[in-house]
A and B are shown apart, each in its own frame.
Chain A
Amino acid sequence: MKKIINDPNMVVEEMLKGMEIAFPNRLKVVPNTKVIVRKDAPVVNKVALVSGGGSGHEPAHAGYIGAGMLDAAVVGEVFTSPTPDQVYEAIKAVDGGAGVFLVIKNYTGDVMNFEMAAELAEAEGIKVDKVVVNDDVAVEDSSFTTGRRGIAGTVFVHKIAGAKAKTGATLEEVKRIAEKVNDNVRSMGMAISPCTVPAAGTPSFELADNEMEIGIGIHGEPGIERKVITSADEIADELTQKILEDLDFNDSEVAVMINGLGSTPEMELFIINAKVNEILTEKGIKVYKTFVGEYMTSLEMAGCSVTLLKLDDELKQLLDAESSAPAFRV
């Protein structure tokens, strides 16, 4: 393992410290926790948004803290959901009286830990509601299984639900819009190299020089299929087709996100974007806005994901609304 770290067991604490120092006017760490909040939290009478999960996905989730997006991010160990007490601390720190909305990615651990925190908060009289994001089309969706996981599409949920909350919307309205985004967003990812969790010290899997994993998540876990690597165009085609098969995008307008998983050059992301745009245009799907860059990473994994969000006027307006989050500029 070759990493720029001090102690594998201290990476989260040390990262939080560095983050707080980097954004002294915007962010603060709640003392003795792994919770990072807006400097001006709690915002009175605004529904507060709390997101989070394991760390290793930077700039997610703390990079999305800011007016018009998140109020707090709860940071777990690398790839490990934070514990209920930490999520509860976040809820308490940002509750401004209008309730707290939790954005949870659909992983068994995240759902359980956030739900236990919600139970604690509700017992204290804080109104809490949630959305469980599951945008990954690589995974079979069935009520008998864990279901689909939440990946880069979560960033659009942060953006749009956050913009809604900023308008003074109620907790119910924020929930409705968050679910609307989740219903209309689909993603799929792939990787050409694995990543190493610092405390584990070894890569999560091995790939030969000519291999790639299709249908990868954001925790260094293997994908659904391993095969010989193809060209960028073919990769873009495979990911996009899978998404288009899953939801009817015909005649719609979409937001596109080409997300790098940690060590993919932007050059490659733009190459992917060119092809995705070509496919969509051919099908008569209009691209309203495009986001290319690192939004939801998996440590130093090389690879990318494609996300499409089907838009209507309401979603467009909220997507366009101002955000002061360091990692999301419209």
Chain B
Amino acid sequence: MLLTVQDSINWIRLTNGKVQENREYLTTLDQAIGDGDHGINMSRGFNEVMSKVHVSEYETVAEVFKDVAMTLISKVGGASGPLYGTAFLKMSTALKGNGKEVDFTSFTNAIDEGLKGIVMRGKAKEGDKTMIDVWAPVLKLLKESEEVDPEQLAVTAKVAVEATKHIKATKGRAAYLGDRSIEHIDPGAMSSYYLFEALAEVLST
């Protein structure tokens, strides 16, 4: 695998497409166990990211991710803004030494750092019914592979997001519902699924 600057931009563009298409769905998920703004937050944030990325010229993947991070941090708000923002910021920092292209090992390391950033900021762990429940299995898959298999990546993320349905939330707003959070997919896990589904699509072309 080689992720070029153009690939990284395509990744963000495809993610944006999915977020916009599923804005209402993400909001519905958040209405069930949160406060009903996740779709609105993500849609607003990625809109801004797209306007930023469109007008900029990039030499490295790290620069792309840095702009994504800063835009999400300053435009999203809520819990998902700082979390996705921190993830992309850590990914950007991890890729600083890389140039125009990122290889599989560096990319896996970047995802590792991104996830660590989410955990550092939100102090949640796997099994708390958050976006971490999608990031962690994806990272595990990458770490156990020698090359990325896009199809397997998408399937892993899909299985992971579906599994959040059965968890009782202990972090984020959904935690206020206790047992009533069971039987609902976590909205942030769903948006993370779109992110990795988009990545799989970029890597398979």
Q: Give chain A's interface residues, CB within 8 Å of chain B.
A: 54, 76-85, 107-109, 112-113, 116, 138-140, 144-146, 149, 197, 199-200, 202, 204-205, 217, 219-222, 224
Given contacts A140-B178, A145-B175, A197-B40, 9 further A-B contacts (CB under 8 A): A79-B37, A80-B37, A80-B78, A81-B81, A83-B76, A113-B81, A116-B73, A197-B37, A220-B31
B44 at the interface (CB under 8 A from A): yes
A79 pairs with B35, CB closer than 8 A:
yes
Q: Which 9 A-B pairs have the closest CB atoms?
A: A219-B35, A109-B79, A109-B78, A112-B82, A108-B79, A146-B175, A80-B78, A80-B77, A145-B170
A116–B117 Cα distance when bound, in Å, is 13
Dominant SS among interface residues on chain B = helix
| With A79-B35, A85-B74, A109-B81 as contacts: A222 and B171 at CB distance below 8 Å | no
- Please give, as numbers and ranges, the residues of chain A lying within 8 Å of B39 by CB-CB distance: 200
**Contact sample, A vs B, 12 pairs, CB 8 Å cutoff:** A76-B77, A80-B40, A80-B41, A80-B78, A83-B75, A83-B81, A84-B74, A197-B40, A202-B31, A205-B31, A221-B173, A221-B176
Q: Report the minimum CB–CB distance from B74 to chain A (whole Å).
A: 5
Q: Report the minimum CB–CB distance from A51 to chain B (whole Å).
A: 15
A200–B31 Cα distance when bound, in Å, is 10
B17 at the interface (CB under 8 A from A): no
Q: CB < 8 Å: which of B121, B170, B172, B178 contacts A144?
A: B170
B36 pairs with A146, CB closer than 8 A:
no
Q: Report the minimum CB–CB distance from B3 to chain A (whole Å).
A: 28
- Name which residue of chain B comes closest to A219, CB basis: B35
A204–B31 Cα distance when bound, in Å, is 5
A112 pairs with B173, CB closer than 8 A:
no
A149–B178 Cα distance when bound, in Å, is 13
- Please give, as numbers and ranges, the residues of chain A lying within 8 Å of B122 by CB-CB distance: 108, 112
A224 pairs with B176, CB closer than 8 A:
yes
Give the one of B40, B74, B122 with max A CB within 10 A: B40
A116 pairs with B36, CB closer than 8 A:
no
A222 pairs with B40, CB closer than 8 A:
no
Dominant SS among interface residues on chain A = loop
- Please give, as numbers and ranges, the residues of chain A lying within 8 Å of B37 by CB-CB distance: 54, 77-80, 197, 199-200
Give the one of A138, A220, A221 with max B CB within 10 A: A221
Q: Report the minimum CB–CB distance from A283 to chain B (whole Å).
A: 28
| With A78-B37, A116-B82 as contacts: A109 and B176 at CB distance below 8 Å | no
A205–B33 Cα distance when bound, in Å, is 10
A112–B72 Cα distance when bound, in Å, is 14
- Please give, as numbers and ranges, the residues of chain A lying within 8 Å of B40 by CB-CB distance: 77, 80, 197, 199-200
B171 pairs with A145, CB closer than 8 A:
yes
Q: CB < 8 Å: which of A139, A144, A205, A220 contacts B176?
A: A139
Q: Report the minimum CB–CB distance from A216 to chain B (whole Å).
A: 9
A186–B62 Cα distance when bound, in Å, is 47
Q: CB < 8 Å: which of B32, B36, B172 contacts A108?
A: B172
B173 pairs with A108, CB closer than 8 A:
yes
B34 pairs with A221, CB closer than 8 A:
yes
- Name which residue of chain A comes closest to B83, CB basis: A112
- Please give, as numbers and ranges, the residues of chain B lying within 8 Å of A112 by CB-CB distance: 79, 82-83, 121-122
- Name which residue of chain A comes closest to B45, CB basis: A83
- Please give, as numbers and ranges, the residues of chain B lying within 8 Å of A202 by CB-CB distance: 31
B60 at the interface (CB under 8 A from A): no
A84 pairs with B73, CB closer than 8 A:
yes
- Name which residue of chain B comes closest to A85, CB basis: B74
A219 pairs with B77, CB closer than 8 A:
no
Q: Report the minimum CB–CB distance from B153 to chain A (whole Å).
A: 28
B2 at the interface (CB under 8 A from A): no
- Please give, as numbers and ranges, the residues of chain A lying within 8 Å of B166 by CB-CB distance: none
A80–B170 Cα distance when bound, in Å, is 20
- Please give, as numbers and ranges, the residues of chain B lying within 8 Å of A144 by CB-CB distance: 170
- Please give, as numbers and ranges, the residues of chain B lying within 8 Å of A113 by CB-CB distance: 77-78, 81-82
A197–B78 Cα distance when bound, in Å, is 14
A79–B79 Cα distance when bound, in Å, is 11
B79 pairs with A83, CB closer than 8 A:
no
- Please give, as numbers and ranges, the residues of chain B lying within 8 Å of A84 by CB-CB distance: 73-74, 82
A81 pairs with B35, CB closer than 8 A:
no
